[in-house]
Copies of this chain bind each other. A is one copy, B any other.
Amino acid sequence: MLRVMVVDDQALVRRGFALVLDNEPDIEVVAEAGTGVEAIEAAHAQQPDVILMDIRMPEMDGLEATARILEAGDTTCRVIILTTFDPDEYVFRALRAGASGFVLKDIPPEALVDAVRTVAEGGAMLAPGITQRLISQFAQKLGSERDLAERLQRLTSREREVLTAIAAGKSNAEIAEALFIGAATVKSHVSSLLSKLGLRDRAQAVVFAYECGLATPGEHDVGF
């Protein structure tokens, strides 16, 4: 039995969703909440499997509440964000908060039920437009890498190694130490790869490394 909680400040909306879900034999609405604070308390007390969370609410908005509930770590529940209209500005915050779904309130009842089941099973469900945008953003990044990656092949393996190190923010001396070669040799490799790639300095080399996918954001700590 799927234990679901519905969070919305409008009681009528809340009851509507709750009725739709309770009508399913395998779904049980175990809690309702009208504010973010209530939601946090109820999530802790009832430990639902899935939470349907509205964004606009008094006291604390749904995204903040989502983040707190999931950060607490004392629960394994998953959250579907409900919104009325253009989700553009909220979607990134929602994903960062840890939401597993993001659907519009005009979703057909069957689709909502599907979404709850899907999310409970570990999947994710986004409104079609959101998915489309997520894909676009992803594809754009991957797309430009191809032609640049070809230029990478003109480098020797040693040069690629050096370029990777440069893209990690290492100085020539550090690269020399890491590769067990002389500092002068590193400079030679650097000069060579800059020339081959048509770049001027190591800063441009870092840019190139990121643009072609040799380095990708989120890989290293920027502790330096």
Contact = CB atoms under 8 A, between A and B. Distances in A.
Interface of A: 92, 95-96, 98-100, 111, 114, 118-119, 121-129, 131-132, 134-135, 138-146, 148, 166-169, 171, 198-208, 210-213, 215-218, 220, 222, 224
B143 A218 contact: yes
Contacts of A134: 124, 134-135, 138
B128 A125 contact: yes
Contacts of A142: 92, 95-96
A135 to B, nearest CB: 5
Counting every copy of the chain, the complex holds: 2
Nearest to A200: B224
Contacts of A169: 199-201, 203-204, 207
A125 B98 CA distance: 20
A140 B37 CA distance: 26
A132 B128 contact: no
A137 to B, nearest CB: 8
A95 B138 contact: yes
A128 B78 CA distance: 14
Contact of A198 (B98, B205, B217, B224): B224
Nearest to A132: B124
A167 B167 CA distance: 12
Nearest to A145: B217
Contacts of A216: 141, 217
Contacts of A100: 132, 135
Contact of A217 (B118, B124, B144, B224): B144
A61 B139 CA distance: 19
Contact of A218 (B96, B114, B140): B140
A144 B217 CA distance: 8
Contacts of A148: 222
A140 B202 CA distance: 27
A202 B200 contact: no
Given A100-B132, A134-B138, A139-B96, A204 B224 contact: yes
